[in-house]
Homo-oligomer: A and B are copies of this chain.
Amino acid sequence: MPHKLMRMRRAEADQGTPGRPIMIAIAGDSAAGKTTLSRGLIEALGPGRATTICVDDYHRFDRAERAGLPYTVLHPDCNYIEIMEQHLQLLAIGEPVLKPVYDHSTGRLTRPELVEPREFIIVEGLLPLHTKLSRACFDVTVYLNPPEEIRRRWKIVRDTSERGYTAEQVLAELARREPDSEAFIRPQRAFADIVVRFGPAPHRDDPPGTPLSAELMLRPTIRHPDLTRVLSDGDQHAIHLKLTRDTDGRPVDTLHVHGYSPREDSATVEKAIWAELGIDASVPDSLGRLADGERTEPLAITQLLLLYHLLDAAR
């Protein structure tokens, strides 16, 4: 862990400079992988330095109340968006908030909890990038964009095992939510500095069971580490960088990390990312862990890149 950096910020605090937390948004539809991604960041930073809040806690109605309403939890009107904005702004200037709490297991709103800002705040959820005011609170913005068939599979597994639904109920809910996903969730992709897509490698015919690849679209809205020195601009390697155009025609870099990337290749990329921070610490080894504890290189590199941006913003 980058202890030197921690000391630096401590010294700053000692000098009476109020600490402005560094904030990252991880937006995406239900079961897009937000929690898996943010868990690795919290572990790498240490819970004493970082905290995660989920903005789905800002639901305006509980599950029973929503039953009679024409829209789903993905709809901004179904959330206290104005209060979410207010709390994000307060956290961004280092103030605590009393955050509402939505209990996913019961579908009920319960007593709120105090959130005190830490050095880093990870904000994940369905709509953190929905408004201009909320977007303005973040140093780094991420949108998780897995292929829909993969997200559906993840959602069925999670909601049947952890939230007490049947697979049929989850599929019906997904269908019911589709118009709101289209109208409110996916448009947030346009406001992300980094769009992350975990899925089968494109243009390849990998056998079933192949670990998922990551495709990281790096928009020039923030300064990404320069990977051109270690990665060639072609798609013949397991990890490669490709200069492409976004759907709106604007230039972007896309970092591809194949699910079977050799550890040596990913170690080279990790070192290149880490070296740009210029800090005297090794790459955290807690990255890349799935819920079952297995390590995947695509996840590790994705988390390391986000960690780079958090630490870079804190300098």
* A252 contacts B by Cβ under 8 Å: no
Q: Contact string, A88-113, partner B, CB cutoff 8 A, digits 1/0?
A: 00100001111010000000111110
* A82 CB contacts on chain B under 8 angstroms: 96
Copies in the complex: 2
* A62 CB contacts on chain B under 8 angstroms: 111
- How many A residues are at the interface, by size bracket? 10 to 19
* A109 CB contacts on chain B under 8 angstroms: 111-112
* A35 contacts B by Cβ under 8 Å: no
- In the bound assembly, the distance between CA atoms of A223 and B109 in angstroms comes to 45
Which listed residue, B83, B98, B100, B114, touches A96 by the CB 8 Å rule?
B83
> Is the CB–CB distance between B86 and A100 below 8 Å?
no
- In the bound assembly, the distance between CA atoms of A110 and B109 in angstroms comes to 8
* A191 contacts B by Cβ under 8 Å: no
Q: Given A80-B114, A109-B111, output 5 extra A-B contacts at Cβ < 8 Å.
A: A62-B111, A80-B98, A83-B98, A86-B96, A110-B111
Chain A interface residues (CB < 8 Å from chain B) = 62, 80, 82-83, 86, 90, 95-98, 100, 108-112, 114
- Contacts A/B (CB < 8 Å), 24 sampled: A62-B111, A80-B98, A80-B114, A82-B96, A83-B96, A83-B97, A83-B98, A83-B114, A86-B90, A86-B95, A86-B96, A86-B97, A98-B98, A98-B100, A98-B112, A100-B111, A100-B112, A108-B111, A109-B111, A109-B112, A110-B110, A110-B111, A111-B111, A112-B112
